[in-house]
Structure 1
Amino acid sequence: MIKVRVESLGKLDSSYYKYLFLYPPDGVIYLNKIKDTLITSSRKFISYLKVKRIIYSSIGRFPIFKIRKVSSSDLDLYHTSHLFLFTDKPYVTDFEHYYIFFFTHYPAYSGIGKIIIKKLFKQKNLKYLLPWTYEAYNTIPEEIRKDPKIREKLKVIYPAVPAEEYVDKDFDKIRLLFVARYFYAKGGSTVLKVFENLNKRYDIEMFIVTPKKWISDKILKKYNFIKWLESLTDEGLRNLYRKSHIYVYPGYSDSFGFTILEAMSYGNVVVTSEGFARREIIENEKTGYIIKRDKDEIKKYTDVISSLIENTNLIKEISLNAWKEIKYGKFSIGNRNKSLKEIYESSIKY
Structure 2
Amino acid sequence: MKVGYLAENYLYKRNIINIVKDVEYQKVNNLFALTYPGVKYINKIAKKTVIPFNDSIYQFTDLNLNKVDILHFFNTISYGKTPWITTFETILPRLDCTLSCHQGARPDFSVLTHYKAVKKALAAMASDSCKRLIAMSDCNANMQRILLKDFPQYQQAIEPKITTLHPPQQLLVSSYADKNINLDGKIKFILVGASFFRKGGMEVVETFSKLKREYNYDLELILISSLRLDDYATKETEADIQKAKILIQQNLDWIKYYEQLPNKEVLELTKQCHVGLLPTYADTYGFSVLEFQAAGCPVITTNIRALPEVNDNDRGWIIEVPTNYLGEAIYTTKEERLEISSAIKSGLERVVHEIFANREVVIAKSNRSIQGIKNNHSLSHYAHKMKEIYLQAL
- TM-score of the aligned structures, taking structure 2 as reference length: 0.74
Task: Give the match for residue 249 of structure 2.
Answer: 221
Note the residue ranges of structure 2 that are not aligned, 5 or more in a row.
29-39, 102-108, 230-240, 322-338
Contact 1:65 1:103 in 2 (8 A): no
Residue 129 of structure 2 corresponds to residue 134 of structure 1: no
Task: Give the match for residue 147 of structure 1.
Answer: 155
Contact 2:141 2:164 in 1 (8 A): yes
Contact 2:131 2:161 in 1 (8 A): yes
- 2:387 corresponds, among 324, 341, 348, to 341
RMSD over aligned CA atoms reads 2.9
CA distance, structure 2, for counterparts of residue 97 and residue 135 of structure 1: 8
The aligned amino acid for 1:69 is T
Deviation, structure 1 residue 75: 2.2
The one-character-per-residue Cα deviations of 1:105-130 (angstroms, maximum 9, x if unpaired) are 36875113453343121122111111
CA distance, structure 1, for counterparts of residue 363 and residue 186 of structure 2: 14
Task: Give the match for residue 59 of structure 2.
Answer: 67
Deviation, structure 1 residue 213: 6.2
Deviation, structure 1 residue 101: 1.8
Contact 1:72 1:88 in 2 (8 A): no
Matched residue SS, 1:272: strand
Task: Give the match for residue 203 of structure 1.
Answer: 218
Summarize the Cα distance change of 1:75–1:60 in structure 2 as closer, same or farther, 3 Å threshold. Answer: closer
Matched residue SS, 2:376: coil
The aligned amino acid for 2:155 is D
Task: Give the match for residue 314 of structure 2.
Answer: 286
Deviation, structure 1 residue 17: 2.1
The aligned amino acid for 1:134 is D
Note the residue ranges of structure 1 that are not aligned, 5 or more in a row.
34-50
Deviation, structure 1 residue 231: 1.6
Task: Give the match for residue 93 of structure 1.
Answer: 86
Deviation, structure 1 residue 142: 4.1
Structure 1 vs Structure 2: percent identity of aligned residues?
A: 20
CA distance, structure 1, for counterparts of residue 55 and residue 263 of structure 2: 39
CA distance, structure 2, for counterparts of residue 192 and residue 99 of structure 1: 36
- 2:273 corresponds, among 230, 237, 244, to 244
CA distance, structure 1, for counterparts of residue 305 and residue 81 of structure 2: 35
The one-character-per-residue Cα deviations of 1:301-338 (angstroms, maximum 9, x if unpaired) are 11212212332321111101111111x22222122112
The aligned amino acid for 2:224 is V
Deviation, structure 1 residue 22: 6.5
Deviation, structure 1 residue 211: 1.1
Summarize the Cα distance change of 1:189–1:21 in structure 2 as closer, same or farther, 3 Å threshold. Answer: same
Deviation, structure 1 residue 237: 0.7
Contact 2:169 2:378 in 1 (8 A): yes
The aligned amino acid for 2:203 is T
Task: Give the match for residue 368 of structure 2.
Answer: 321
Deviation, structure 1 residue 89: 1.6
Contact 2:17 2:25 in 1 (8 A): no
Alignment of 1:1-350 (within 5 A): 2-7=1-6, 13-14=9-10, 16-20=11-15, 24-32=19-27, 57-59=49-51, 66-70=58-62, 71-98=64-91, 101-104=94-97, 105=99, 109-113=111-115, 114-140=118-144, 141-143=147-149, 144=151, 147-167=155-175, 168=177, 169=179, 170-171=181-182, 172-200=185-213, 201=215, 202-211=217-226, 215-216=241-242, 217-224=245-252, 225-282=254-311, 284-293=312-321, 294=339, 295-326=342-373, 328-348=374-394
Deviation, structure 1 residue 32: 4.2
Contact 2:136 2:167 in 1 (8 A): yes
CA distance, structure 2, for counterparts of residue 63 and residue 119 of structure 1: 16
CA distance, structure 2, for counterparts of residue 111 and residue 69 of structure 1: 24
